[in-house]
Amino acid sequence: MSGFPCNHIHFSAISFGIKSKDIDIPLFFITLIVIMRRTVLLSLILVLFSGCTAFQNSEKLNFFHDLKSDAQVYSLTLPENHIPLIVNEKVADYIKIYNNGSREHLRRILERAYPYFPMMKLAFRKEGLPDELVYLPIIESGFQMHAYSPKHASGPWQFVTGTGKMYGLHCNWWVDERRNPEKSTIAAVRHLKDLYKWLKDWYLSLAAYNAGGGKVSKAIKKYKSRDYWELTQEKRRYIKKETKKYVPKFLAVVIICENLDRFGFTDIQKKTPLMYDIVEIPDATDLNLVAKACNTTYEEIKALNPELKKWATPPRYENYQLRIPYGSMDQFLAIFNQIAPEDRITFRRHKILKGETIWSIAKKYKIPRPMLKEMNNLGSKGFIREGKYLIIPIRGLDKARELDELLGFKNSIQNDDKMDY
């Protein structure tokens, strides 16, 4: 394990010869002067060396400012994990950042993360992968299910559409399974396992998770090295800065999270694991109806199902698994089974008139064109014919209001302009 940086001091050779061309100085005094000069030099070296050591220790205390003494610094626990934990200059820089300026930010992320940790650890253990990989979403998304990057990566594990599709994550107008905590975690486990099987090194695998396996593989060939720290030297430009920072960030987060008390993170509210019931929905169903049948709110159903992008479950998605509040399954089924399928989401039939287009019909009913094409299997081009009929989806608000009356609610249905449509 490499230590913290220390400025090394180099000394050039010093001549101790004394020229006494015109001065008659006894040999005894010359010898005495030489000894004194050497003693002064030695003392100077010892002082400078002590200063360097003190600087090094003070830097450690700056990085680990919550630790009270040198002894505590040196006894910092680095667990023997599958992924080697080291503290070099780059890692130490991020420990300093997360432990100082970004301390409150990290605390909030950890509070969001704790409900998901048990599920994620179990998924990694089933595949024999390191537990500490559960900390990766901290630097990927801050454990925000709806996180969306400029590069169009989505969800806690920040999958782009193509990679997500490779690992079975559906993404369309209705759903984005990259935002599903369980499904995206299983996909991340499989992806990381594949990367490690390919690169056979965790630092390289983590870099590949960020930059892509092809990028890291080409860097290995270009620089003829399989050492992550060699590949990411400042002078080497092939690997982007984001990837150069990625592994040091991750190691810093792991070291802090494995030593929360030692770093003073004693006020984190460790929320209990998420608990919910799962029900199978046979076809498109308005989430307002689901909420009323569960005696909860529309917002709660949306929060439990972050992959749902719209106000209803997707059409033609047989037995869609929907999460509802824990303990509400019996009540939900008793009410839901009384609702006729055609009332779970309401529709109108529209006869296509001469000159009408998908755009004009969508505008007339104030619905998005992709939704209209999806509901009618029109494909991406959306060809329609005069005289044919289109199904126009209309939210089942009337049926939801009936449930309000049945369950004793008053004016709990949201207005259309406030709905997540």
Q: Which residues pair with 392 in a beta bridge?
A: 348
397: Cβ contacts below 8 Å, ≥ 6 apart:
286, 288, 413, 416
Report DSSP state, residue 115: T
Crossing angle of helices 117-126 and 181-199, rounded to 10°:
40
Which residues are CB-neighbours of 191 under 8 A, at least 6 positions away?
163, 167, 209
Backbone angles phi and psi of 320, in degrees to 5: -65, 130
Residue 338 is classified by DSSP as T
Per-residue tokens: 168: 């079975």
CA distance 115 to 9: 50
- Please, what is the Cα angle at 361 between 359 and 367, to 5 degrees? 85
Residues 6+ apart with CB under 8 A from 368: 173, 362
Task: For residue 104, give the 3-state DSSP assignment.
Answer: helix
- Mark whether 140 is an active-site residue: yes
Provide the 10 A C-beta neighbour count for residue 229: 15
What distance in Å separates the CA atoms of residue 99 and residue 420, rounded to the nearest whole number?
A: 38
Whether 164 contacts 171, CB under 8 Å = yes
Q: How far is CA 91 from CA 62, 64, 82, 347, in A?
A: 14, 12, 18, 57
CA distance 239 to 234: 9
| Residues 389, 350 contacting (CB under 8 angstroms) | yes
Q: What residues pair up with 324 in beta bridges, in sequence order?
A: 277
d(CA 223, CA 231): 7
Of these residues, 140, 258, 307, 374, which one is catalytic?
140
> What's the rounded Cα separation, in Å, for the pair 370 and 372?
5
Coil, strand or helix: which one is 67? Answer: coil
Q: Just list the catalytic residues.
A: 140
